[in-house]
Amino acid sequence: MTNSTTVPLIIHGVDVLNGSANEPASLFRPNPDNDSNRGVYAAGATPALCVQAVESCADAFATWRDSQPYERRRLFNNLAKLLRAKEGEIQTLIEQEILCSALWAKINVNDSIALAEEVAATVTSGVLSGLAPIIRDPEAHAVVFKEPFGVVLGIAPWNAPLILGLRAVAAAVAAGNTVLLKGSEISPRTHYSLAKLFQDAGFPPGVVNYIQHSPEDAVSCFEALISHGAVQKCNFTGSTAVGRHVAQRAAFYLKPVVLELGGKNCAIVLEDADLTKAVDQVLLGAFLNSGQICMSTDLVLVAQLVEQQFRRLLHQKLSDGSQQVTEVISQKSRSRIDALVSNAVQKGASTTTAETGTRASSIIIGDVTPHMEFWEQESFGPLLGLRVFDEEEAAIQMVNDSPYGLSGAIFSRNYLKALKLAKRLNMGAVHINSATVHDEACLPHGGRKESGWGRFGAHWGFEEFLQTKTIILHP
């Protein structure tokens, strides 16, 4: 943004602040609970502006689909260089906009650089190549091509705005699609800056367009986007409740979606675990970015034999382990978290709190039971529940009974046993002797059950945004 306190939209390479005379953009304040947003406004898209942005993407697709993979690789390498050059500036912006720690902002930037470079490397690795299957007629030849879908709608959340904004766009664009990035009303400055970097890296106008809208216009804008004939696929990262609505409307228009949704992520601490390491990693997984990560550790299940020692270490290390707790994003979130704690206490839970010097405190909820709202609801805040188990089978059952299935952890010195148990957990990823919060550009990422479906990351992410076409040459 230049000399402006208003975050624009980007449509076909042009910043849009005012819309048109017939359909002016409305201004809204991003997250009024964040003091650093004073004086900051965002241009809110209308359904008509959404349509305009989609049609720009459709126009760009006509030529972008035929661009050479080597050119796409060059542009993504340019993007990685720009991210490196602006690393400090972007980190500061993220810290201000989502009230996070310097560490979380740095992770966002470093992981985004890694993602851009991974996409650049993957696009010429053969992932776009087709096949020539052998068919019955020896005189005929079959070829299976991989082709892009067209216009993809990418909807990104606020809690890791740079990396998840880039993830919503990168593989789809590298596969030959064009993307309309719909940013979060909580982090429009970061999402706009990301879209602007695509321009600066040399991507043609319309290959990546950017919109945001006020919370009040969410339903009408999404309907205008998902119903448009040019939009062929959607990816969404966010809550399960909103993801369900996205899936329902996409299904009505028979459009495929990739969904990375919420999680109720558990860490299992076995009797033979390195307890010091387990406590450190559980606290990191629970409280990084104030627990506002889809992979955050919500529950730790501890073997009865080591329960007392684990509890003692957990409380000893709670203060130091809470250094990544800064702020909860909004008053609405704080109220929801307080309600979960209150309900748990009313139903018999004990609590231990570590004051952090901010408006957010890290809280351990002891003696959690399935009767508490916290047991099944994603906390998405600095809460960690603890429950003891007698048998490993009981721990596996507790994890698999959850409606979610995103990420988990197992702590044990017996790697073979931990691997066998990990294979029985119904979730997208299991981390042995590490935190539930872990993802890399070279790995597939996604969940099961109410944590969504589909995968981001590496060649798995490319495959989500490619479709096959079979051509048979008959004699």
| Spatial contact of 186 and 31, defined as CB atoms under 8 Å apart | yes
Query: Among 182, 122, 121, which Cα is nearest to 151's?
Result: 182
What is the H or E stretch that residue 154 is in?
A: strand 151-155
Q: Count Cα neighbours of 53 within 13 Å in the Cβ-side half-sphere.
A: 34
Structural tokens at position 365: 């909820």
Q: What is the DSSP letter of 160?
A: S
Q: Provide the greatest CA pair distance for the chain.
A: 77
Structural tokens at position 334: 């704080």
Structural tokens at position 115: 């993602």
Q: Residue 255 to residues 32, 65, 153, 229: CA-CA distances in angstroms?
A: 35, 20, 11, 10
Measured torsion, CA atoms of residues 352, 356, 362, 364, in degrees rounded to the nearest 10: -20
Q: Is 294 known to be catalytic?
A: yes
Name the 3-class secondary structure at 424: helix
- Active-site pick, 234, 294, 392, 450: 294
- Active-site pick, 95, 97, 118, 260: 260
Say how far apart CA 110 and CA 86 lie, in whole Å: 11
Alpha carbon of residue 196 to chain centroid: 20
Q: Is 260 known to be catalytic?
A: yes
Tokens 């009767």 correspond to: 371
Active site residues: 260, 294
